[in-house]
Amino acid sequence: MKFATFQRRFAVLAVLAVLGVTRVILPVGAQASTPNTPSQQMLLPNFSALAKQVQPGVVNIRTVKTITGGGPVFRHFFGPFERRGPQPPFGEGMPGNEQRQRSLGSGFIMDADGFIITNNHVVEDADQIKVRLADEREFDARIIGRDPKTDLALIKIDGGKDIFALRLGDSDRLEVGSWVLAVGSPFGLEQTVTAGIVSAKGRFIGAGPYDDFIQTDASINPGNSGGPLLNMDGEVVGINTAIVAQGQGIGFAIPVNLARDIVAQLKDHGSVIRGWIGVGIQDLTPELADYYGLKNLKGVLVTQVFPDNPADKAGVKTKDVIVAVDG
């Protein structure tokens, strides 16, 4: 499987949209002309009020950056598992060329001061950032901080009055099967709302050291990057970030509980300060637990200790099993 973060591409898409449907008929093996009883029908929620509530807090982000030959175009073909930003049109970024690349993404307002959360790959290396609100007001934005390891970024607009901020929810309380909304600008189509369910939690997709994604079947596409995934209370539970390139209905969002801590550090320091103890570890397997005489799989096995680092100075050794941390 090939995972790709969103990028702006123009394509001709055929989409069959069915509007105004309030219920879906469960398959019962009967002929189409057979009347359906209430027990054969499942009511779907009405998303219109929720969409109107949250759309003012979602923004369209346009960036301009300078690219040179051998850059994103070549990484697009030779880095299938790379977390990628928007790609230039064909021909730009070829060897020896320097081009101005224009890209689109999404984001959402986190407070009345104009702070906006988005993906790092949306604004990375941008020379200019423009933010367009749902009411069509436009602002220049500046980067407050970026964290490539989690693909999160915090930007800010100044001078905006009467802006609507979205509430952050609790992604730990999100359950598989729960309804969610995705709002953003797929293919530049601003304020697009799609609905789906949480397909899985804790997904590892090989995108970085902090893989812990929410999987959803809400339709998300290039341009949705940085936009919010929301629960039925209108709270942000995730930041839409990646899709399966060959699949449909498989998208991934960064849990908002992870984003909350990262964004707080970006706001205070402009970067993320992470602890380092200087060890390599691996999860315990049943075989390892049996070998070390452990009663359960709680803990990690130390596979490497880096010299002159905190763990080495504290006396941690290779093949130690860490079962608890104090402090």
Report the distance separating Cα 163 and Cα 135, nearest Å: 10
Three-state DSSP state, 223: coil
pLDDT in tens, 10-30: 333 333 233 333 333 333 333
Q: Are 235 and 168 in contact (CB under 8 A)?
A: yes
Q: What radius of gyration do the chain's Cα atoms show?
A: 23
Measure Cα distances from 294 to 221, 286, 316 in Å: 46, 9, 18
Closest CA to 48 of 234, 199, 189, 226: 234
Look up 33 and say whether it is catalytic. no
| CB neighbour class for 68 (10 Å; exposed up to 12, middle 13-18, buried from 19) | middle
Distance CA 177, CA 175 (A): 6
What's the token pair of residue 257? 């509980």
Q: How far apart are CA 174 and CA 195, in angstroms?
A: 15
Predicted pLDDT at 60: 98
Concerning whether 121 is annotated as a catalytic residue, the answer is yes
**For residue 44, what is the DSSP state?**
P
Check 103, 106, 121, 199 and give the catalytic one: 121
The pLDDT of residue 4: 53
Angle at alpha carbon of residue 200, lines to 57 and 210, rounded to 5°: 75
Query: Using one digit for the tens of pLDDT, what is the confidence trace for 285-306?
Result: 889 888 888 888 888 899 999 9
What H or E segment, with its residue span, contains residue 179?
Answer: strand 179-184
- The active-site residue out of 151, 185, 219, 320 is 151
* CB half-sphere exposure, 184, CA atoms < 13 A: 37
How confident is the model at residue 142, as a pLDDT?
97
Q: What is the pLDDT of residue 138?
A: 96
Q: Where are the domains of the chain?
A: 1-11+18-274, 279-322
Q: What SS3 class is residue 39?
A: helix
- β-bridge mates for residue 280, sequence order: 304
Q: Residues near 98 by Cβ (< 8 Å), separated by ≥ 6?
A: 66, 67, 68, 69
Neighbours of 114 (CB within 10 A): 19
Strand partners, 156: 115, 142
Average pLDDT along the chain, 327 residues, taken 10 residues at a time: 45 32 35 50 84 98 82 34 40 59 94 97 96 96 97 93 95 97 96 97 86 94 96 98 84 97 97 88 88 84 91 90 79
Whether domain 1-11+18-274 has CATH 1.20.58.760: no
Residue type, 145: G
Tell me which residue of 226, 228, 250, 248 sits closest to 237, measured CA to CA. 228
Q: What's the pLDDT score for residue 139? A: 97
Which one of 199, 219, 225, 320 is the catalytic residue?
225
What is the per-residue pLDDT for 42?
65
Q: pLDDT value at position 211?
A: 86
The DSSP H or E segment spanning 258 is helix 256-269
By the 8 A CB rule, do 88 and 67 touch? yes
Q: How far is CA 220 from the centre of its chain?
A: 11
Total-model pTM = 0.72
Compute the half-sphere exposure of residue 209: CA atoms within 13 Å on the CB side of its CA. 5
Active site residue 151: yes
